[in-house]
Amino acid sequence: MVDMKYVAPSTIDEAVGAILAANGTGRILAGGTDLLVQMRLGTAKPGVIVDVKNIPEMMRIEETAGGFRIGAAVSGAIIGEHPALGKAWPGVVEAINLIGSKQIQGRASAGGNLCNASPAADSVPALVAAAATVTIQGPKGRREIPVETLHAGPGRTTLQPGEIVVGFTLPARPLGSGDAYLRLIPRTEMDIAVVGCGVSLIVANGTCTAARVGLGAVAPTVLLVEAAGKALIGSRLDDKALEAAAAACRAACKPIDDKRGTVQYRTKIAGVLLKRAAAIAAERAGAR
């Protein structure tokens, strides 16, 4: 029976101040689709809830010299309706739009998905593949980090006390680029990824010139599998290159046996999804 305070500041500075003042009991509220569930389960008991949905910078999508800046609290539904973003980064958008259901999409944000720090978070492997960077603001000002360095372990991030994720930056897309995200779930929806795989490629004259692969749910954090990217770069995305990249994904897996899947199954599926996601990304790269 603790008292709980709710604030909804309109600037990031105020939000940082409120979180700091809460002395470790503060929690950011974006869509609340993780936080409110945890509160109902009793696993989260915040003293101060800092709702960031009144902060304009965190609620908008901007186009910047070919790239995009996405506010951390923008909902999946809004992201899904952004025409230019969906054209440039279809894999990132499909990953964010896979989160939950229509109702969840109306609230859930990519910032919340990232900061909740689940190894199975759907948007993160796609953001990792996309080489997204994260803008963070805290008591010491702003900093910018690669998205794959934000997770520290299940439920833990590298955010320092008082730090808030403001948004993501996605780079500009040259001609011949494509990305894709696939996840495996036992059912067709309303489930948590047993494995998630994001692939981003640039293809010139049939040869892959850049590739990044993000893997989810196979380790304590979402992984950037550099070896898988390397196996694809320079290839014509032929079966041999895809199998090499799949092998790199399998090798990168450090999964656990749990109620959602076995080590053996997760490892196998990481390779399967790599091949399938790479094929979709390649097709998208050719299609533009």
Partner 1 sequence: MSKQTYKWIGTRPDRPDGADKVTGRARFGADFNMPGQLVGKVLRSPHAHARIRSIDTSAAEALPGVKAVVTSKDFPEQANLIVPTGEMQVNLRDVTRNVMAREKVLYESHAVAAVAATTDAIASAALALIKVEYDVLPHVIDVTEAMQEGAPILHDHLITDGVEPRPTKASNIAKRIDNAKGDIDAGFAEAEVVIERSYTTQPVHQGYIEPHATLASASEDGQIQLWSTTQGHFQVRGFCSRLLNIELSQIRVTPTEIGGGFGGKTVVYLEPLAVRLSQKSGKPVKMVMSRDEVFRASGPAPGATVRVKIGAKRDGRIVAADCTIAMQAGAFPGSPIGPACWTSFACYDIANVRVVGYDVVSNRPKVAAYRAPGAPISAWGVESTLDILAQELRMDPIDLRLKNAAKKGTKTSYGPTFDTIGFVETLEAAKSSAHYRSKVKPGMARGVAAGFWFNVGADSSAAAHVAEDGTVTIISGNPDIGGSRASLALMAAEELGIDYDKVRPVIADTSSIGFNFVTGGSRVTFATGLAVVNSVRDMVRELKGRAAKTWGVDVEGVIWENGQAKPAGSNVGVFEPLTLAQLAATAGKTGGPINGHAQLNVQGAGPGFGVHIVDLAVDQETAIVTIDRYTAVQDVGTAIHPSYVEGQLQGGAVQGIGWALNEEYIYNAKGKLENAGFLDYRIPVASDLPMIETILVEVPNPTHPYGVRGVGEVPIVPPLATMGNAIARATGVRMTDLPMSPPRLSAALDAAMPRAAAE
**Residue ranges in contact with partner 1 by CB under 8 A:** 1, 184, 186-192, 194, 258-262, 264-265, 268-269, 272
- Nearest to 48, CA basis, from 28, 30, 62, 66: 28
Measured between alpha carbons, how far is 86 from 25 in angstroms, rounded to an integer?
37
Q: Which amino acid is at 207?
A: T
Q: Which residues bind ligand FAD (CB under 6 A)?
A: 27-35, 37, 52, 72-73, 98-100, 104, 107-109, 111-113, 115-116, 121-122, 164-165
Question: Which one of partner 1, ligand FAD, none interacts with residue 231, CB within 5 to 8 A by kind?
Answer: none
Question: Which one of partner 1, ligand FAD, none interacts with residue 269, CB within 5 to 8 A by kind?
Answer: partner 1
Instruction: Give the shortest CB-243-to-ligand FAD separation in angstroms.
Output: 28
Instruction: Give the shortest CB-174-to-ligand FAD separation in angstroms.
Output: 29
For 145, other C-beta atoms within 10 Å of its C-beta total 14
| Contacts (Cβ under 8 Å, ≥6 apart) of 103 | none
Instruction: Give the shortest CB-247-to-partner 1 separation in angstroms.
Output: 10
Instruction: Give the shortest CB-270-to-partner 1 separation in angstroms.
Output: 11
- Tokens standing for 62? 């901007």
Nearer to partner 1 by Cβ, of 42 and 83: the residue is: 42
Question: Which one of partner 1, ligand FAD, none interacts with residue 272, CB within 5 to 8 A by kind?
Answer: partner 1
Question: Which one of ligand FAD, partner 1, none interacts with residue 43, CB within 5 to 8 A by kind?
Answer: none
CA angle 253, 259, 260 (to 5 degrees): 55
